[in-house]
Structure 1
Amino acid sequence: ATQRPEITRLKDTDGDGAADVFQTHADGWGVSGDYHEYAFGSKLDANGDMLITLCLTGSFSSKVPFRGWAMKVTSDGQTIPYSSGVRSPGGMGTDSTGNVFYTDNQGPWNGTCGLKVLREGKFMGHPGGWDWYEDAPNMGKRPQEPESGSRILTEAANIPELVPTVVMFPYNKMGKSASGIVCDQSGGKFGPFENQLFVSDQSQSTVMRVDLEEVDGVWQGVCFPFRRGFASGNVGMEMAPNGSMFVGGTNRGWGSTGPRPFAVERLDWTGKIPFEIKHMKSTTDGFDLEFTQPVDAATATDLAGYEIETYTYEYRSQYGSPEVDPTKPTITSATVSEDEMHVRLVIDGLQLGHVHELHSNGVRNQDGNPLLHPQAYYTLNKINEAN
């Protein structure tokens, strides 16, 4: 169990189903008692190791050792610095192949909330914990200082250690406090989104859906609305073997749309496949949309049925950022695949480092029904020259 000051091992020595021995497994970082010094842990990997993310003291700087870092905790309890640059994590999780992701929240050096991939020896974007490089010889020298007011892809081109945000969650549009992460590996028991990630939001009491891809070693992807109306502020999530999603929430310290002070709720699939954009993948000149049901070709090829805009966020030391650098790309063609499950959009004006906000309000399935969620938000970090 991960808590602020340590990783705790729980044991049931008498077999009654309740833990009666609590042992410190690892505590190789600092804690001052500041309200914001959260800690989140991944599950154990095949070696019995795990990763943890440690929120900055006050979420701005590091007053105690390794706040603002990700740390590796080995099976024998060693704590090893893993990545710097963490600000205010809200949860951790792995994809279907074991890559570890965490959510970081809007604030200094985070223009909006985002999903980030942890890489050993890398810098996740917030320099407030850099004092601890002196105690992390395995990490090498501290990176070059980022320029406040720049853009994260611009700085990543100059700072080799900097890992761009994988998916930016547009503020207000997709929540305000990204938190827990879970991967659907239920084998179809939860619906048509196997191997995709689901990310909760504490403030707006929602669960988002995230579809990722790796292009030439660079992670990027799209987020969609999924479910809202939960009873409290969603934080932790877990998928049960039967395909149920459990969502735990609290509004302690921060308010939430869900009015209850705490809740644990179960989300089950009804068995009915909704009409949704299942995948949105980048191509050399636009995006390929794959749907959960065959589309009506007449509406899916009508360019008037789509709207697209792009924007990004300042990468700066001030708290958060408005949407900046807006553009209006042009969709020049929409082509339906032979099986009517895909639409390829050719777009003039793709923007690296931008969120591509797509609304497909005009698209219908073959029964004439619109998309349950017509909006999609794709963060483009790399042009996919292979597709």
Structure 2
Amino acid sequence: ANTAGDMFFSDQQGTWIPATPIYHLRKGGFYGNQEGLGSMKLPGSPIQFKPPPQNISYPEAIKQCKELVPPAVWLPYNKMGRSATDIEVIDCKGKFGPFDGQLLVGEFTNSAINRVFLEKVNGQYQGACFPFMDGFPSAVLRLKFSPDGTLFVGMSNRGWSSLGNKSYGLQKVNFTGKVSLAIKEIRATSSGFEMELTKPVPNDINVKLSSFTYRYSRSYGGPEINKKSHKVEVLKNAAKPSTFSIQVDELRQYYVYEFEVEYPSAHIMKGYYTLNSLVK
């Protein structure tokens, strides 16, 4: 659960699921996999609806089936790992850095942890995901904070293989007190996005932006489709030195927006925002 008490869960790429989703759990929702709809035929089933046809874009499937719940956040395959595991909310009152209220998501294949920022737009959850920590010696399965802000990471390679070379393990992660430059949040606006960094915005920052979606299909996984590169204009905010706005030439509902933020002599920072609802 997040700090508001709403429940979220992860799923794996597979049949009907083109990439790793993070879903907001809600009553009566259909989460895409039609192989689980046999129970609709049972007496007293609480759900009755016609699922969308396959081999159409995910945005079109959502429009055709109001019961189909879009992921609050897509974690693009390979770019953000391959197999999400546990979800843990950061609720540490600053003891784990400047990310309180965000979610950590374990990653099996890449032996890593990703970070998810969520916001509500028109009553619907959406947000962005970011690479956060990697290099763990085994697949990350469980995440749990202690009261002092220490993150305990439970690991095991049982059943599959990961980038880690150990069969299992338990590690703890503590915040050193030093904040490195990273994307803290991405928020949707009526004309594009607002991005907040963990430090003041550098003078020579550059933003590249593209978008894509997926195909809704019974096939296992699926490629990114309908890709487009976008023209952007970066506008700094004098009142908020760590924040800047990104004006975008086109906003496409239910698409994933891929950000590459760079400036000289620094690594490229990446983030992926799932735009479920347009800001009015």
Instruction: State the TM-score, normalizing by the size of structure 1.
Output: 0.70
Tell me how far apart the structure 2 counterparts of residues 99 and 276 of structure 1 sit (CA, whole Å). 26
Tell me how far apart the structure 1 counterparts of residues 87 and 74 of structure 2 sit (CA, whole Å). 15
Task: Report the Cα offset of residue 109 of structure 1.
Answer: 0.9
CA contact 1:205–1:232 (8 Å) conserved in 2: yes
Task: Report the Cα offset of residue 331 of structure 1.
Answer: 0.2
Percent sequence identity is 32
Tell me how far apart the structure 1 counterparts of residues 248 and 43 of structure 2 sit (CA, whole Å). 45
Secondary structure (helix, strand or coil) at the match of 1:137 reads: coil
Tell me how far apart the structure 2 counterparts of residues 136 and 220 of structure 1 sit (CA, whole Å). 35
Q: How far does the alpha carbon of each residue in 1:8-55 deviate from its partner, in whole angstroms, 9 at most, with x for none?
A: xxxxxxxxxxxxxxxxxxxxxxxxxxxxxxxxxxxxxxxxxxxxxxxx
Pick closer, same or farther for the CA change 1:112–1:136 going to 2, 3 Å: farther
Find the counterpart in structure 2 of residue 341 from structure 1.
242
Tell me how far apart the structure 1 counterparts of residues 43 and 249 of structure 2 sit (CA, whole Å). 46
Find the counterpart in structure 2 of residue 242 from structure 1.
148
Find the counterpart in structure 2 of residue 299 from structure 1.
204
2:228 to 309, 312, 327: 327
Q: Which structure has the larger Rg over C-alpha atoms?
A: 1
CA contact 2:39–2:45 (8 Å) conserved in 1: no
Q: How far does the alpha carbon of each residue in 1:110-131 deviate from its partner, in whole angstroms, 9 at most, with x for none?
A: 1111101111111111111111
CA contact 2:234–2:244 (8 Å) conserved in 1: no
Alignment of 1:21-32 (within 5 A): none
Find the counterpart in structure 2 of residue 171 from structure 1.
77
> Is residue 108 of structure 1 aligned with residue 9 of structure 2?
no
Pick closer, same or farther for the CA change 1:322–1:286 going to 2, 3 Å: same
The amino acid that maps onto 1:375 is: K
The amino acid that maps onto 1:311 is: F
CA contact 2:16–2:219 (8 Å) conserved in 1: yes
Tell me how far apart the structure 1 counterparts of residues 42 and 180 of structure 2 sit (CA, whole Å). 51
> Is residue 155 of structure 1 aligned with residue 61 of structure 2?
yes
Secondary structure (helix, strand or coil) at the match of 1:328 reads: strand
The amino acid that maps onto 1:383 is: L
Tell me how far apart the structure 2 counterparts of residues 269 and 333 of structure 1 sit (CA, whole Å). 31
- Tell me the number of residue pairs that the alignment of Structure 1 and Structure 2 aligns: 280
Tell me how far apart the structure 2 counterparts of residues 247 and 171 of structure 1 sit (CA, whole Å). 22
Tell me how far apart the structure 2 counterparts of residues 250 and 149 of structure 1 sit (CA, whole Å). 36
Tell me how far apart the structure 2 counterparts of residues 225 and 219 of structure 1 sit (CA, whole Å). 20
List structure 1 runs of 4+ shifted beyond 4 angstroms: none
Task: Report the Cα offset of residue 374 of structure 1.
Answer: 0.8
Q: Which protein, 1 or 2, shows the higher relative CO under an 8 Å CA cutoff with sep ≥ 6?
A: 2
Find the counterpart in structure 1 of residue 3 from structure 2.
96
Tell me how far apart the structure 2 counterparts of residues 324 and 99 of structure 1 sit (CA, whole Å). 31
Tell me how far apart the structure 2 counterparts of residues 284 and 136 of structure 1 sit (CA, whole Å). 45
> Is residue 255 of structure 1 aligned with residue 161 of structure 2?
yes
Task: Report the Cα offset of residue 135 of structure 1.
Answer: 4.0
Find the counterpart in structure 2 of residue 283 from structure 1.
189
Alignment of 1:25-104 (within 5 A): 94-104=1-11
Secondary structure (helix, strand or coil) at the match of 1:281 reads: strand
Pick closer, same or farther for the CA change 1:136–1:189 going to 2, 3 Å: farther
Instruction: State the TM-score, normalizing by the size of structure 2.
Output: 0.95
CA contact 2:109–2:139 (8 Å) conserved in 1: yes
Gaps of 5+ in 2: none
2:40 to 107, 120, 133: 133
Tell me how far apart the structure 1 counterparts of residues 52 and 165 of structure 2 sit (CA, whole Å). 40
Find the counterpart in structure 2 of residue 119 from structure 1.
26
Tell me how far apart the structure 2 counterparts of residues 156 and 323 of structure 1 sit (CA, whole Å). 17
Task: Report the Cα offset of residue 136 of structure 1.
Answer: 6.7
Q: How far does the alpha carbon of each residue in 1:252-295 deviate from its partner, in whole angstroms, 9 at most, with x for none?
A: 11110011111111111111112111111000011101121122
CA contact 1:333–1:347 (8 Å) conserved in 2: no
Tell me how far apart the structure 2 counterparts of residues 136 and 265 of structure 1 sit (CA, whole Å). 48
User: RMSD between aligned alpha carbons?
Assistant: 1.6
Secondary structure (helix, strand or coil) at the match of 2:138 reads: coil
